[in-house]
Amino acid sequence: MAEEARSMWALGDYHQFATATVWQLGPLLVDACGISPGQRVLDVAAGTGNVAIRAAKAGATVTASDLTPENFAAGRAAAAAEGVGLQWREADAQALPFETAQFDVVTSCLGAIFAPNHQAVADELLRVCRPGGTIGMINFTGNGAGGEFFRLLGQYAPPPPAGASPPTLWGDENYVRTLFGGRVDSLRMARREYVETSASPGEYHGLFKQAFGPVIAIRASLSGQPDRAAALDRDFLEFITRSNRGPVAGPVKIPYEYLLVVARKASA
């Protein structure tokens, strides 16, 4: 299962995709977690360093972990361009290869939510964080464009692994409370919105087709079904049109709702 997920996220050009869509969220999570010089930070499902690079720029000692090490070369180049260094480590969010209580802050931005076993992820985020440390996440909710996007892909994707939970569950406050249970002293959550932009619907659609691994994998699974592949393209463009809040003849502007989660691990 993990190998299949790794292969999927290695398709396309994740760094191109991330910098065009979600790169703006990294500094927001760093600020929300109060990351500061000297702290030990682990970013889980780090991709190419959206949060990790920003944490390093804030002066922290940072480890970026991800299931897909094929993305690390782009991450290292991005970090070098920002003048910072950090450690890159291959890791499954459901079974992190780090010691218990090793980090002051543990983060994940639209990453760990895609691991199928949500409780295992929550347990690991808590385990590797020191008592009194901070766990910060940015998670898609099931509302608006985000929820519609995942429902659209689900109509064309192969069935998920048995027992896998939808990523947007992480955007439900009560669900997050249940996952963390009584193991946190505080749990602050707020629904916010960010906007993805593109010059045109065609350019936005093309970015997903060419750079976003899950969409590339779905299209590959439809290689012998031209009618289904055409329907996916049509439905995706209709999704863009419905979700666009930009001017009719201008750039695409699609708002996505997310849940910002900042937890303080129990001190004892």
Phi-psi region of 215 (alpha: psi -120 to 50; beta: other; left: phi over 0): alpha
Note the pTM of the prediction, 2 decimals: 0.96
**What is the DSSP-derived secondary structure letter of residue 201?**
H
Res 28 pLDDT > 90: yes
pLDDT digits (tens, 9 = 90+) for 103-143: 999 999 999 999 999 999 999 999 999 999 999 999 999 99
Q: Where are the domains of the chain?
A: 2-147+162-194+257-265
Report how far residue 212's alpha carbon sits from residue 13's, in angstroms, rounded to the nearest whole number: 7
CATH number for 2-147+162-194+257-265 (one of 3.40.50.150, 3.30.420.40, 1.10.760.10, 3.40.190.10): it is 3.40.50.150
Rg of the chain over all Cα atoms, to the nearest angstrom = 18
Sequence-distant (6+) residues with CB within 8 A of 28 are: 138, 260
Mean pLDDT on 198-222:
96
In this structure, what token pair is assigned to residue 11?
Answer: 């398709």
Res 248 pLDDT > 80: no
Arithmetic mean of pLDDT over the chain: 96
Report how far residue 104's alpha carbon sits from residue 102's, in angstroms, rounded to the nearest whole number: 7
